Amino acid sequence: MSRRSRWTSSVGLAAALAIVALVPVFGQQRPQAPAGPWMDKSLPPDQRADMVIAQMTIDEKIQLLHGAGGFDQAPRSNGGASVIEGIPRLGLPDLQLADSAVGVRAAGGRGRYATLLPSSEAEAATWDPTLAWAQGDVIGRELRDQMYTVSLGGGVDLVREPRNGRTFEYLGEDPVLAGTMLAEFVKGLQSNHVIGDVKHYAFNDQETGRNIGNVKHGTREARETDLLALEIAVTDGGPGAVMCSYNKYNGDWACENSYLLTDVLKHAWGFKGFVMSDWGGTHSTAKAALAGLDNEEPGNADPSRARFGDALKQAVESGEVPMARLDDMVHRIVRTEFALGVVDDPPKGRVVDPFRGADTAQQIAENGIVLLKNANAQLPLNAATVKSIALIGSHADTGLLSGGGSAQVDPPGSGESRFGGPPVWFPTSPMNAIRAKAPRANVTFNDGSDPAAAAAFAKGAEIAIVFVNQPESEGRDLPTLTLPDDQDALVSAVAAANPHTIVVLETGGPAAMPWIDHVSAAIEAWYPGIRGDVALANILFGDVNPSGKLPVTFAKSDADLPHPQIFGLRPPPAPGTATAGRGGRGGGRGFFQPFDIDYTEGLKVGYKWFDAEGKTPLFPFGYGLSYTTYAYSGLHASGIDSVTFTIRNTGKRAGAEIAEVYAGLPAAAQEPPKRLVGWDKIALAPGESKTVTVKIEPKLLSIFNEQTNDWELLPGEYTFFVGGSSRSTPLTATVKH
């Protein structure tokens, strides 16, 4: 990146830094001096937890099992989504919880700064676990800088419903990709001595009716889809916390579902941390505690108003909830504090370094932006020769879109963005970054509000770049894959006027593109974060060769999805009518009666649906172009535990190819045609070849056997498919096992 473009992009950040430097981090209770043998760091965390719990009164125990309220309601709040008040006399600090899906939330309103990273979907599109680690590391560091000790991020609800309003917070439709990326994210985050969280457990795969919907799904289907992503994240990532979701699963609320919380999470996966409820997602006291919920959020500072407050104390005193279970709940929280360094290395409070975060954000964006179409090598643009570029639509003169809801990060220099407020464009200006790249070109902007005027504006320019957007937010789904505000008409009009029309999509997930045959290039930029401007310009002008691949299938239209309409979607209620779905924000609007969300597609989530049903997607899972080309050859599989193949850069530019390995299981398994079992990202100079071995875990070739309640590797023929997307696998090999 040139010094100039970095400076251009960093002016806003520097201003923000100046502001935060003047504002101290909010005061809160500082950890007390060490107070007993449990402060001996050399002892195992479980032993330290037992020692300190032995000193606690029942009221102190109960205090750890519920938050003291959301945001600034609690006296000891740091301004985050909740605080679990600690026990100073025993040296246990307050746990300060903050939303932090793609950056620390609610910083702006408190005079602080937080980096907006690319959306989680963009992070997944890098397919690079080291970048997932880096994304988690930035968030962990900035949480700690701001005196938070628990992250509320780590979203991994599977994108089986691409119109889910939180798709941008999640990691795509494949459980192995999503779980692997999240495990690394958690490790990066927790390396900062902040407790990581994985959410929303489980099946909160749509926002519509999230507080009243009952998800129906068979055990095998559940374990092999959404729960597999969570299993990988929990067992490989080792998060300190798991947040149970709002919805019901097979008849029981997720936060009082003993199958999910105890049988699977704690027993089958060996989770040692604590389960906290989503905000207002605790529906009972004894039932929830006995099912495996450990902590109620956001709870209430007044224990008489919390389900896990006085009511829990009474349930223990009456014997309804055994003391041993109460101690287990407390143990899980306290051992996590010891295990992850929250007690031994508490945060000291620092001003966030915006440049460090922005550098990582840029690297992730450059690796996650996906080149979807590039007819006649329209891209990259030649900065030395391009004369005029007409930029159109989506505030491309000033900013790029970010995701809403509890994942919303406040833009630098602004106050707090309101939950449920209008979409927020971050001050990361594509126009400035493009002008910095091509200083001799005439780069102009039209807001795109009038398609005919935009077409006339584009006609005279050498290149037209149309920016389109699809705002997403927690609490409401997208009614359709069609872009809002008639942006399709805008693209079509511009494409008809200028044969060199490039479309840049700022979307949380898939969008329909009825105009795709009429534009010369298309780029999926996602919500690319604070340095999205520079990352995008680097890709447009070829300083970065795109390497991102789609972590989710792009359907041609809603009709091709397993459920053409979102479950429960109804017209909004008449003003003044009572609505159902209380106990959480949004997600209940317009719904009066609970309803079932019946995932009849079973195992066929995402590309597995398109493969099994013989449907052609607009862009398949795993797809993404480069400015160079790659050739695959020489697949060798002697057993089922690894495959070896050669990949060559057959073009003229250096690049990095994500090589994907899929497996077809023996017919007796009755599985969809193929599943992702491994991948590698290989950097290649022009003309260079590399021979690559991808290891395959037997579990990823297994099915979940409901009779034995365990994974099973069936005997028979396994076919490996290797290539650059789920629909381009030039190499196949079959082995018997």
609: enclosing H helix or E strand = helix 607-613
Bond prior to 24 in cis (omega within 30° of 0):
no
- Per CB under 6 A, 150 contacts ligand BGC: no
Residues numbered 83-102 forming contacts with ligand BGC, rule: CB under 6 A:
99
Least distance to ligand BGC from the beta carbon of 527, Å?
17
Contact between 585 and ligand BGC per CB under 6 A: yes
Residue 419 and residue 426: Cα distance in Å, rounded? 16
Q: How many residues bind ligand BGC (CB under 6 A)?
A: 10
Nearer to ligand BGC, 93 or 586 (CB): 586
Residues 472-511: x where in contact with ligand BGC by CB under 6 A, - otherwise, as a string = --x-------------------------------------
Residue 711 phi, psi dihedral angles, 5° rounding: -75, 145
* List 152, 523, 534, 647, residue binding ligand BGC (CB under 6 A): 152
Q: Is 199 in the site for ligand BGC (CB under 6 A)?
A: yes
Nearest by Cα to 88 from 40, 31, 147: 31
Residue 245 CB, nearest approach to ligand BGC (Å): 8
- In the complex, the smallest distance separating the C-beta of residue 435 from ligand BGC, rounded to whole angstroms, is 38
Q: How far is the CB of 186 from ligand BGC (least distance, A)?
A: 15
| Whether the Cβ atoms of residue 690 and residue 682 lie closer than 8 Å to each other | yes
Determine, following the binding rule CB under 6 A, whether residue 279 of this chain makes contact with ligand BGC: yes
Helices (H), 438-547: 451-459, 487-497, 532-540
Tokens read off for 563: 């459920």
Contact residue for ligand BGC among 121, 161, 278, 477 (CB under 6 A): 278
What is the C-alpha separation between 195 and 179, in angstroms, rounded?
Answer: 18
Closest CB to ligand BGC among residues 5, 406: 406
Residue recorded with tokens 């890709």: 539
CA 442 remoteness from chain centre: 38
Q: How far is the CB of 68 from ligand BGC (least distance, A)?
A: 14
- For 668, other C-beta atoms within 10 Å of its C-beta total 11
Q: Applying CB under 6 A, does 584 fall inside the site for ligand BGC?
A: yes
Site for ligand BGC in 395-414 (CB under 6 A): 406
> What sign has the CA pseudo-torsion 668, 669, 673, 678?
negative
**610 makes contact with ligand BGC (CB under 6 A):** no
Among 1, 16, 64, 81, binds ligand BGC (CB under 6 A): 81
Give alpha helix (H) positions in 152-244: 175-190, 219-224, 226-237
Which residue, 241 or 264, is less far from ligand BGC as judged by CB? 241
Is residue 275 within a helix (H) or strand (E), and if so which, with residue range? strand 274-277
100 vs 487, beta carbon nearer ligand BGC: 100
Should residue 137 be labelled a site residue for ligand BGC when binding is judged by CB under 6 A?
Answer: no
Min dist. Cβ of residue 414 to ligand BGC (A): 19
**Residues of 613-652 as b/e, b for ≥16 C-beta within 10 angstroms?**
eeeebbbbbbbbbbbbebebeebebeebeebebebbbebe
Minimum Å gap between C-beta 28 and ligand BGC is 19
**Which of positions 521-560 make contact with ligand BGC (CB under 6 A)?**
none
What token pair was written down for 117? 């990273």
CB of 406 to ligand BGC, least distance (A): 4
Which residues bind to ligand BGC, rule: CB under 6 A?
A: 81, 99, 152, 199, 278-279, 406, 474, 584-585
